[in-house]
Amino acid sequence: MERKKIFLGEEEIPRQWYNILADIKMNPPLGPDGKPVSPEMLAPVFPMNLIEQEVSSQRWIDIPEEVLRIYRIWRPSPLVRAFALEKALDTPAHIYFKYEGTSPPGSHKPNTAVPQAYYNKVFGIKRLVTETGAGQWGSALAFACAQFGLECKVYMVRVSFDQKPYRKVMMQTWGANCVPSPSTETKAGRDILAEHPDSPGSLGIAISEAVEAAVSDGSGRTRYSLGSVLNHVMLHQTVIGLEAKKQMEIAGEYPDVVIGCAGGGSNFAGLAFPFVYDKIHGRQVAIHPVEPTACPTLTKAPYVYDHGDTAGYTPLLPMHSLGHTFMPPPVHAGGLRYHGMAPTVSQLVVEGLLEPRSYGQMATFEAGMLIARAEGIIPAPETNHAIACVVDEARRAKEEGKAKVILFNWSGHGLIDLGSYEKYLSGSLRDFDYPAREIEEAGKILAKYPKPQILKSR
């Protein structure tokens, strides 16, 4: 009997995260003066223990015992063989997914929310402020803060706040306070509302609000927390790929193709970086981050220096960017509506180690419906982007008659996103035109910024 799922015992949760900074060169983040940002400059925003992790180039970083204790609520997550999808596609490919939907908030996000809450707690912080797009990150941080007795405040992109009222309730159930962004609580929010009173919000705006709210809190016991993009976030997520490698070994296979959806990059990186490590060291594997055609950061945008947020509060980060004023069309994959990308993921694209792909909204929901009926699990709209790419790869394997091994990251379930499925089923969902003019407009602002070097690590 071939196994459907491969579970690991709790004692097999990795004891260390993999830090890709040990294996690649990176352009530094820059301050307002155009000079590299020093760790001290970030101290009002993040606790120093996380800043140290952000800049560390140590390859393996120990996972604290207290973090492992909380990870055990849902980790190790299962690796699943998608036999029914293979059958539905009549493909010789072997399709595996790492299923991150078993965490209490339903996604991969607590992999970093838990250590972030832990390090803040250890540093003496009492309250965390963050933003959230689709709500996966906000609810993950709410969950993590409840575990460590921290207060939690979440600015949620308004379009998602309205589309997904249950996400707010989830956060409240775990004791967090959630408000729609742009809000009137911050200068960044008020400035946006003055110009666009009906603004649907964006991740960039919400980040500005959360950063402002965190650093302007006079207590000294409040910090900001980010659910993607930064190096330490990618680091924490590698627990996914490290587990998946052990599980693939048990299955007796190694992936020919690794796939993950990419918004800020953390879900993709979590699965992919441990395989990127192998690729750097000579192993052959195709690795695809997948994004919406409506927000095509890796597939259409230049590699530049840009702010991580709309108001320009964050340092300049070396990344692919559509411009920090770009307002992505309201696709339902709220977690992928971000103008930038994790600098580590961007650097890997620059180095030619990754091959990004993009899909339109309708194609992603078609893929999601296919797998929901075949495998039984309803995916988050973000995950549907990875699945659309899996379906293409599996069809190609059939054309080529190759028993390719495909591994993808099932970032979360879609049970809080059923409103988007309702729209799809009733025929009222649509693709968005490629927002060429908006991207061009937003991109103009980038001309005045410094340019990152094109670094090659080997």
**Which stretches of the chain bind a second copy, using CB under 8 A?**
1, 3-5, 7, 9-11, 69-70, 72-73, 84, 102, 104, 106, 143, 146-147, 165-166, 169-170, 172-175, 369, 372-373, 375-378, 415-416, 418-419, 421-422, 425
Report, in Å, the least distance between residue 385 CB and a second copy: 18
Task: Rank residues 170 and 301 by Cβ distance to a second copy and give the closer one.
Answer: 170
Task: Rank residues 158 and 164 by Cβ distance to a second copy and give the closer one.
Answer: 164
Are 210 and 224 in contact by the 8 Å Cβ rule? The answer is: yes
Separation between Cα atoms, residue 42 and residue 211, nearest integer Å: 11
Report, in Å, the least distance between residue 85 CB and a second copy: 12
Report, in Å, the least distance between residue 30 CB and a second copy: 39
Report, in Å, the least distance between residue 74 CB and a second copy: 8
Task: Rank residues 22 and 169 by Cβ distance to a second copy and give the closer one.
Answer: 169
Residue type, 382: E
Task: Rank residues 265 and 414 by Cβ distance to a second copy and give the closer one.
Answer: 414
Report, in Å, the least distance between residue 197 CB and a second copy: 27
Opening angle at CA 384, ends 152 and 115, nearest 5: 30
Task: Rank residues 236 and 404 by Cβ distance to a second copy and give the closer one.
Answer: 236
The phi-psi region of residue 87 (left if phi > 0; otherwise alpha if psi is between -120 and 50; otherwise beta) is alpha
Report, in Å, the least distance between residue 377 CB and a second copy: 5
List own/partner pairs for 311-314 with CB under 8 A and 24 or more apart.
Answer: 311/188, 311/191, 311/205, 311/208, 311/212, 312/208, 313/188, 313/207, 313/208, 313/211, 313/212, 314/207, 314/211
Task: Rank residues 25 and 373 by Cβ distance to a second copy and give the closer one.
Answer: 373
DSSP state of 44: T
- Please report how many Cα atoms fall inside a 13 Å half-sphere around the Cα of residue 341, on the Cβ side: 31
- Please report how many Cα atoms fall inside a 13 Å half-sphere around the Cα of residue 297, on the Cβ side: 32
Report, in Å, the least distance between residue 378 CB and a second copy: 6
Task: Rank residues 34 and 165 by Cβ distance to a second copy and give the closer one.
Answer: 165
Q: Tokens 């690729």 belong to which residue? A: 279
